[in-house]
Chain A
Amino acid sequence: DAKTTQPDSMESTEGETVHLPCSHATISGNEYIYWYRQVPLQGPEYVTHGLQQNTTNSMAFLAIASDRKSSTLILTHVSLRDAAVYHCILLANYGNEKITFGAGTKLTIKP
């Protein structure tokens, strides 16, 4: 019962900008869109999250479609350290949440 759909893998080159897509066609009005990334042998790392407006922080820019049925995580000037599995997750604001992860998108960065 996956609520988000992401490509299995993507590839980019150091210094480029990467657009990681996520489809969430059945998103509810009170669900936030979260992005995490994970490298081998480490726990997932928070990247960003948003509800309706685009958001930006030191790690990434999150672009959310006006109908909220899709979003794109944009990484600029990627380096080898950005190679990871990126997960797009929905969380509703009920206060008590069960986070479940899908397979995510494996991002490979070439030198």
Chain B
Amino acid sequence: EAAVTQSPRNKVAVTGGKVTLSCNQTNNHNNMYWYRQDTGHGLRLIHYSYGAGSTEKGDIPDGYKASRPSQENFSLILELATPSQTSVYFCASGDGANSDYTFGSGTRLLVI
């Protein structure tokens, strides 16, 4: 079954440390996305990718980097984690209009 899998499910990081969130999709979709969602708020787009080797800035890219080494994998990197980056992060994959976009189950990140 096609799916989007995120790892880890939960992460505790220290301020100033490096954090890497991973996402793997078996949908063979070209497009992949990283969002964050804070309590009581909607999803906000951080970075996205059109395919292997490409990354694009979303609406709130500051403090985050992204990497798309292959069609299947899309990583979100926090080089210097800060407490303000404590959030739930969702990855998604899709293939343009007229295809369904699939979301992962989320990674809960706590930066202390």
Listed in ascending order, the chain A residues whose CB lies under 8 Å from chain B are 30-32, 34, 36, 41-46, 49, 51, 87, 91-104
B31 with A96: CB separation less than 8 A: yes
Q: CB-defined interface of B72-94 with A at 8 Å, one 1/0 digit per residue?
A: 00000000000000001010101
B97 with A99: CB separation less than 8 A: no
A51 with B98: CB separation less than 8 A: yes
Listed in ascending order, the chain B residues whose CB lies under 8 Å from chain A are 4, 30-31, 33, 35, 42-45, 48, 50, 56, 58-59, 88, 90, 92, 94-98, 100-106
What's the dominant secondary structure at chain A's contact region?
loop
Cα–Cα, bound, A84→B92 (Å):
19
B101 with A46: CB separation less than 8 A: yes
What distance in Å separates the Cβ of B97 from its nearest Cβ neighbour in chain A?
Answer: 4
B96 with A49: CB separation less than 8 A: no
B98 with A43: CB separation less than 8 A: no
* Minimum CB distance partner of B97 in chain A: A93
Most-contacted residue by chain B among A43, A44, A99 (CB, 10 A): A43
